[in-house]
Amino acid sequence: MGQVPDLPIRNFEVAGQGPAPPVILVRSMHNLLNDAAQRALRYLDELDARSVAPSAEAVAGLSRFQEPLPETSMEPRDVLALLDQIGSPATVATAGSRFFGFVTGGVLPATLAANWLAAAWDQNASMVVLSPVGAALEDVVLAWLRQLFHLPAGSGGALVTGGTMANFTGIAAARHALLNGVGWDVEAQGLFGAPPITVIVGEEVHVSMLKALGLAGLGRERVVRVPADSQGRMRADKLPKLAGPTLICTQAGNVNSGAFDPVGEICARAHEAGAWVHVDGAFGLWAAAARERKHLVEGVELADSWATDCHKWLNVPHDSGIALVRDEQHLVGAIRSTAAYLVHGEQREPHHHTPEASRRARGIEVWAALRSLGRSGLEDMIERTCRHASRFAQGLRAAGYEILNNVVLNQVLVSFGDDETTRRVIAAIQQDGTCWCGGTVWHGRAVMRISVSSWATRDEDVDRSLAAMIRCARSLGVVKNNS
Ligand SMILES: Cc1ncc(COP(=O)(O)O)c(C=O)c1O
């Protein structure tokens, strides 16, 4: 597109003729969006050379945003320039190839581009009538995801903000089903005076599950905790006797070790007793898409509800999570709400499946990811990131550092010595800026977590990051092996 002279966006009133034609707005939009694209491209081009963590100076520069509420307007291009100048340097380079903190995916090219187009569309994906394309793509991606995860074709689904809300949505469906089964309408009556639900979690339950239980009125601390094994897997043989309305929260992919609860075994016990099994598979569920890893999720398909994230291992922009419920009527029963002005057609109405009503059409990027990768591309991405994790483990072990988990997926836990030493090495690695890893506590010990979740990570990124980790450890005198 050629350069168009930039003109301010203004509604000129021509006497007696109403606002000026929109050409002024359109010409300015071209330049504005071209400018945004140029700035975004420059940002991405520079990612490889910059520190993964922003500099202290860049973070301090954020104080420039702290100005009084502006009384007057500013040209959009100046707004963008300000955002870029102050904001871009203060970002964490999670879109790059060497961010290994938390469980954080990057942004696949097709999803970034689709996200831009979708922002221009500005669709409200709550109802078919508000966004036929948003609703249609939700239908498509839910069908594809059910296939990928080997889940029942009729399962209901919801596109939500992330793993936490996906867990919440699954729990809301479970709460509906379990209380409905004993004659209690929880949506109408709430939990006051309701028959109690026993909630069972593993010792290594993810904090988001406890948060979701709290939000659903089931309580963060009122849970029965089942011991876990050395990898953090819930021990099915330690499940209590099951009776009455019972919800068992399992996980596929421990946030630290990447280990999987024996969900099949738990389902067998649970379903005999009429209990509901929910699976938090925020990242682990994606193992189902890869031939070499899908044994890890064996039995997961027997559960009653599942939560996963797309902004983690599928590498779509934040925020994007998925809840799936075997029996759609329980999902809709928990969530459906109606009003005279809301339009209902024959098709699946998204807002009857999601806690939110108005929301962005995040199915667009999920579709773009799956459409661009295809089954084989997705499998390759999952396998590749798992191989990178193994490469990290091998390299660190060879340098004499201790790997604390069985590296079955994309997660590695490493100790550089005693807790204080490990914490100092983590701080040095973050400060060095070649890559970024966070810390955690594993079996009472401070450890560094490496999570390889980005499509963009290459072998050379792993090698460069390994070299930086070892350099940082050695610079602190943590020399285990000079080979
Ligand atoms: C196992 C597990 N469940 C849930 C979550 C929460 O996901 P989100 O941050 O998308 O809400 C995470 C995040 O890392 C996770 O690892």
Reported as a single tens digit per residue, the pLDDT across 271-320 is: 999 999 999 999 999 999 999 999 999 999 999 999 999 999 999 999 99
- Position 14 pLDDT exceeds 70: no
Contacts of 376 (CB under 8 A, 6+ apart): none
Give yes or no for residue 432 CB within 6 A of ligand 1. no
Give yes or no for residue 204 CB within 6 A of ligand 1. no
My answer on whether 69 and 133 are in the same domain is no
Give yes or no for residue 462 CB within 6 A of ligand 1. no
Q: Is 321 contained in some domain?
A: yes
Give yes or no for residue 208 CB within 6 A of ligand 1. yes
- Position 60 pLDDT exceeds 90: yes
Segments forming the whole domain that contains residue 73: 13-93
Query: 254 C-alpha vs ligand 1 centroid, how far in Å?
Result: 10
Name the more confident of 18 and 397: 397
User: In 10 A of CB 432, how many CB atoms?
Assistant: 18
* Of 320, 372, 381, nearest in space to 157 by CA: 320
Q: Is 481 contained in some domain?
A: no
> How far, in Å, CA of 252 to CA of 140, rounded?
24
Name the residue of 209, 255, 315 whose CB sits within 8 Å of the most ligand 1 atoms, as the mutation to test its pocket.
255
- Position 5 pLDDT exceeds 70: no
My answer on whether 226 and 334 are in the same domain is yes
Question: Span 342-352, mean pLDDT?
Answer: 89
Give yes or no for residue 261 CB within 6 A of ligand 1. no
Q: If residue 41 lies in a helix (H) or strand (E), which one and from where to where?
A: helix 23-46
* Of 89, 95, 101, nearest in space to 435 by CA: 101
Atom 16 in ligand 1: which residue has the minimum CA distance? 255
Give yes or no for residue 162 CB within 6 A of ligand 1. yes
Which pLDDT belongs to residue 345?
A: 80
Which of 41, 58, 93 is the C-terminal boundary of a domain? 93
Give yes or no for residue 255 CB within 6 A of ligand 1. yes
Query: 279 C-alpha vs ligand 1 centroid, how far in Å?
Result: 12
Query: 170 C-alpha vs ligand 1 centroid, how far in Å?
Result: 14
Q: Is 447 contained in some domain?
A: no
My answer on whether 124 and 223 are in the same domain is yes
My answer on whether 269 and 358 are in the same domain is yes
Give yes or no for residue 106 CB within 6 A of ligand 1. no
Query: 281 C-alpha vs ligand 1 centroid, how far in Å?
Result: 8
Give yes or no for residue 279 CB within 6 A of ligand 1. no
My answer on whether 181 and 292 are in the same domain is yes
Q: Which atom, in ligand 1's list, is nearest to the CA of 255? A: 16
CA distances from 207 to 319, 354, 425, 442 (A): 18, 21, 26, 15
Q: Which residue's entry shows tokens 């969530």?
A: 335
The three state secondary structure string of 249-304 is EEEECCCCCCCECCHHHHHHHHHHCCCEEEEECCCHHHHHHCCCCHHHHCCHHHCC
Q: Where are the alpha helices (DSSP H) in 55-131?
A: 56-60, 76-82, 109-121
Grade residue 365 by pLDDT with cuts at 50, 70 and 90. Answer: very high
Query: 274 C-alpha vs ligand 1 centroid, how far in Å?
Result: 27
Mean pLDDT, rounded, of the chain: 94
Q: Is 100 contained in some domain?
A: no
- CATH number where 346 lies: 3.40.640.10
My answer on whether 311 and 256 are in the same domain is yes
Give the count of domains, the chain: 2
Query: 209 C-alpha vs ligand 1 centroid, how far in Å?
Result: 9
- Position 7 pLDDT exceeds 60: no
Atom 14 in ligand 1: which residue has the minimum CA distance? 103
Query: 212 C-alpha vs ligand 1 centroid, how far in Å?
Result: 11
Name the residue of 205, 309, 316, 319 whose CB sits within 8 Å of the most ligand 1 atoms, as the mutation to test its pocket.
309
Question: Span 99-127, mean pLDDT?
Answer: 98
My answer on whether 144 and 269 are in the same domain is yes
Question: Span 61-78, mean pLDDT?
Answer: 96
My answer on whether 286 and 157 are in the same domain is yes
Per-position b or e across 27-51, b if 16+ CB within 10 A of its CB: ebeebbbebbeebeeebbeebeebb
> How far, in Å, CA of 392 to CA of 236, rounded?
31
Q: 207-215 vs 163-180: helix axis angle to the nearest 10? A: 50
Q: Quick check: helix, strand or coil at residue 353?
A: coil
Query: 167 C-alpha vs ligand 1 centroid, how far in Å?
Result: 9
My answer on whether 186 and 265 are in the same domain is yes
445-451, strands of its sheet edge to edge: 402-403, 411-415, 445-451, 438-442
Contacts of 282 (CB under 8 A, 6+ apart): 103, 162, 163, 166, 206, 208, 253, 255, 307, 308, 309, 312, 321
> How far, in Å, CA of 261 to CA of 48, rounded?
37
- Position 25 pLDDT exceeds 90: no
Q: Is 482 contained in some domain?
A: no
Sort residue 433 into left (φ over 0), alpha (ψ -120 to 50) or beta.
left
User: In 10 A of CB 23, how many CB atoms?
Assistant: 9
My answer on whether 77 and 188 are in the same domain is no
Give yes or no for residue 206 CB within 6 A of ligand 1. yes
